[in-house]
């Protein structure tokens, strides 16, 4: 799917691959311009500072870098892009080791790329991103005792101040911090368009029986961690646009995770944090109807690598924008500026070239011509076009999925009830998830088409129930001949 996006939007892309070998691993960096293969370099992994074992022990204090030989590709890339055109990065799915490298920071340190926006190409054709009349952001802040402490309350205050200054539309900021930080934040309020709610963990009964998953083994899609359950239950029924985590990371092999205190009300373990991987974060985002997720590392250290890996893992699991900031407190102001870009609070909608930020987003969010300031009106692009898709002959449906409606017309219906908006977001998320970059070997084409058909039917039922006087007939659920025979 990334290849299709690159071709469809003529993206100038650095595609990075990992190639193990008996003589040592190699890294390939291929420059692509749309469908054109411009040039390729293959460099020993040691030239980047990569080690054989991907573990915190080995990479503590490691010096990662970009070899000078890559400047040749960068000069070729600059010959093909202008000042308002991003350079895209795509890391192959089997190249998880490459995800620990801060590509954006290292590339932007090259003088030739000064001022150039650098973005990550997503792994899904469609994008569930939409604009709401009120932007709702849930922020989780944890400074686990097992990691180096950081001033969590100070990070929260700076985030609130920046949102208050930047927001040009109403914003609700929900802060979920540990008990000690809550005492410092209890009187915090926003200003301007920013409203702040600081949630109190002292009145919540947390289950402390969550074990330490030191191997980061994949779990099913269930919420188990006390922090995730607290957020999901507190915001239940209220649609959330983005969830942002400010905490250290952790990684084991090519799997990244959050590193959190035992519970929001207990932070005593000085040896091990509690880890949350991409599966559980996926479940939280689905529960909240959130299309965007962000991560901030408190320090520029080995634990920031865990957040980069986590974002990489998540980028293959679900669609939607992903933001990773690993610059620590000195460049923390980049975080709200990225949200200001994403939610169109700024007059200039081109991507923000923040120095220490990874930004996965769909090309329709990055091309200035697609970012006209649309008024808030009925959600026509997704609902209408996908409803039309349900009426299309089967042989044309795949074409519409490959060239989906632009995500930027997806705006909230004024006056829509929260439950209806949340349900619509669930439809968007699951519909977009069906366009994964690789075919799901666990599902046959008929099963995938059946899922799409069910989503279309339920979406139409929702629209009919929230639009009084709308006499539009329900679409019939077609049964494929092969399915009926089965």
Encode pLDDT of 123-133 as tens digits. Answer: 888 888 888 88
Domain 2-120 CATH (choose: 3.40.50, 1.10.10, 3.30.420, 2.60.40): 3.30.420
Whether the pLDDT of residue 89 is over 90: the answer is yes
Q: For 382-407, what is each residue's pLDDT tens digit?
A: 333 333 333 333 333 333 333 333 33
Cα 375 versus chain centre, distance: 25
Q: What is the mean pLDDT of residues 301-312?
A: 94
- pLDDT classification of 187: cutoffs 50, 70, 90: confident
More confident residue, 394 or 118: 118
Whether the pLDDT of residue 90 is over 80: the answer is yes
Q: For 29-49, what is each residue's pLDDT tens digit?
A: 999 999 899 999 999 999 999
- pLDDT classification of 368: cutoffs 50, 70, 90: very low
Q: For 313-358, what is each residue's pLDDT tens digit?
A: 999 988 899 999 877 667 777 888 889 888 888 766 555 556 678 9
pLDDT confidence of residue 130: 85
- pLDDT classification of 375: cutoffs 50, 70, 90: very low
Bridging pattern class, strands 242-246 and 135-141:
parallel
Whether the pLDDT of residue 363 is over 70: the answer is yes
More confident residue, 240 or 407: 240
Q: For 223-234, what is each residue's pLDDT tens digit?
A: 999 999 999 999
pLDDT confidence of residue 419: 54
pLDDT confidence of residue 334: 81
Q: Which residue is associated with the tokens 């409606």?
A: 405
- pLDDT classification of 266: cutoffs 50, 70, 90: very high
Q: Where are the domains of the chain?
A: 2-120, 135-351, 381-485
Domain 135-351 CATH (choose: 1.10.530, 3.90.550, 1.10.10, 3.40.50): 3.40.50
Mean pLDDT, the chain, rounded, equals 78
Nearest to 281 by CA among 326, 328, 249: 249
Token pair, residue 292, equals: 């965007």
- pLDDT classification of 184: cutoffs 50, 70, 90: confident
pLDDT confidence of residue 350: 55
Q: Is this model's pTM higher than 0.85 or not?
A: no
Whether the pLDDT of residue 25 is over 70: the answer is yes
Dihedral over Cα of 43, 49, 51, 55: its sign: negative
- pLDDT classification of 142: cutoffs 50, 70, 90: very high
Q: What is the mean pLDDT of residues 202-206?
A: 88
Q: For 284-299, what is each residue's pLDDT tens digit?
A: 999 999 999 999 998 8
As a whole number of angstroms, the longest Cα–Cα distance in the chain is 71
Q: What is the mean pLDDT of residues 409-433?
A: 52
- pLDDT classification of 113: cutoffs 50, 70, 90: confident
Q: Which residue is associated with the tokens 């595609």?
A: 15
């Amino acid at each position: 799917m990334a290849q299709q996006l690159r071709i469809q939007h003529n993206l100038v892309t650095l595609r990075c691959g990992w190639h193990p070998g008996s003589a040592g691993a190699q890294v390939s960096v291929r420059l692509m311009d749309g469908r054109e293969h411009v040039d390729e370099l293959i460099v020993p992994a040691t030239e980047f500072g990569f080690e054989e074992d991907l573990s915190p022990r080995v990479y503590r204090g490691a010096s990662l870098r970009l070899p000078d030989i890559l400047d040749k590709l960068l000069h070729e890339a600059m010959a093909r892009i202008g000042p308002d055109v991003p350079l895209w990065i795509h890391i192959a799915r089997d190249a998880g080791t490459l995800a620990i490298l801060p590509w954006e920071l290292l590339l932007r340190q090259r003088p030739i790329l000064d001022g150039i926006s650098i973005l990550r190409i997503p792994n899904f054709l469609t994008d569930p991103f939409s604009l709401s009349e009120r932007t709702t952001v849930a922020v989780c802040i944890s400074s686990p005792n097992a990691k180096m402490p950081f001033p969590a309350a100070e990070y929260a205050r700076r985030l609130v101040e920046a949102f208050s200054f930047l927001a040009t539309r109403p914003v609700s900021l929900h802060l979920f911090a540990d008990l000690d930080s809550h005492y410092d934040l209890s009187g915090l309020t926003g200003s301007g368009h920013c409203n702040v709610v600081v949630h109190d963990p002292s009145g919540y009964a947390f289950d402390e029986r969550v074990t330490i998953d030191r191997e980061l083994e994949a779990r099913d899609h269930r919420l188990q961690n006390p922090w995730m359950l607290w957020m999901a239950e507190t915001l239940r029924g209220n649609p959330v646009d983005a969830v942002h985590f400010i905490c250290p990371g952790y990684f084991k092999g090519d799997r990244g995770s959050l590193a959190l205190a035992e519970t929001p009300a207990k932070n005593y373990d000085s040896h091990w944090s509690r880890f949350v991987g991409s599966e559980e974060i996926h479940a939280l985002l689905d529960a909240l109807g959130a299309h965007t997720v962000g991560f901030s590392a408190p320090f520029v250290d080995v634990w920031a690598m865990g957040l980069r890996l986590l974002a990489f893992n998540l980028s293959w699991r679900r669609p939607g924008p992903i933001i990773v900031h690993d610059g620590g407190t000195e460049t923390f102001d980049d975080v709200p500026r990225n949200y200001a870009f994403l939610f169109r609070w700024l007059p200039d909608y081109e991507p923000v070239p923040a120095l220490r930020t990874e930004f996965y987003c769909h090309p329709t969010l990055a091309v200035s011509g697609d970012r006209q300031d649309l008024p808030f009106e009925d959600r026509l692009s997704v609902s209408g076009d996908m409803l039309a898709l349900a009426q299309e002959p089967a042989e044309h449906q795949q074409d519409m999925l490959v060239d989906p409606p632009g995500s930027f017309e997806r705006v909230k219906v004024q006056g829509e009830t929260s439950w209806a908006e949340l349900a619509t977001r669930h439809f968007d998320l699951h519909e977009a998830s069906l366009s994964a970059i690789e075919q799901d070997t666990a599902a046959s084409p008929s099963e995938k088409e059946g899922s799409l058909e069910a989503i279309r039917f339920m979406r139409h039922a929702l629209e009919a129930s929230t639009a009084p006087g709308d006499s539009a007939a329900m679409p019939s659920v077609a049964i494929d001949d092969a399915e009926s025979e089965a």
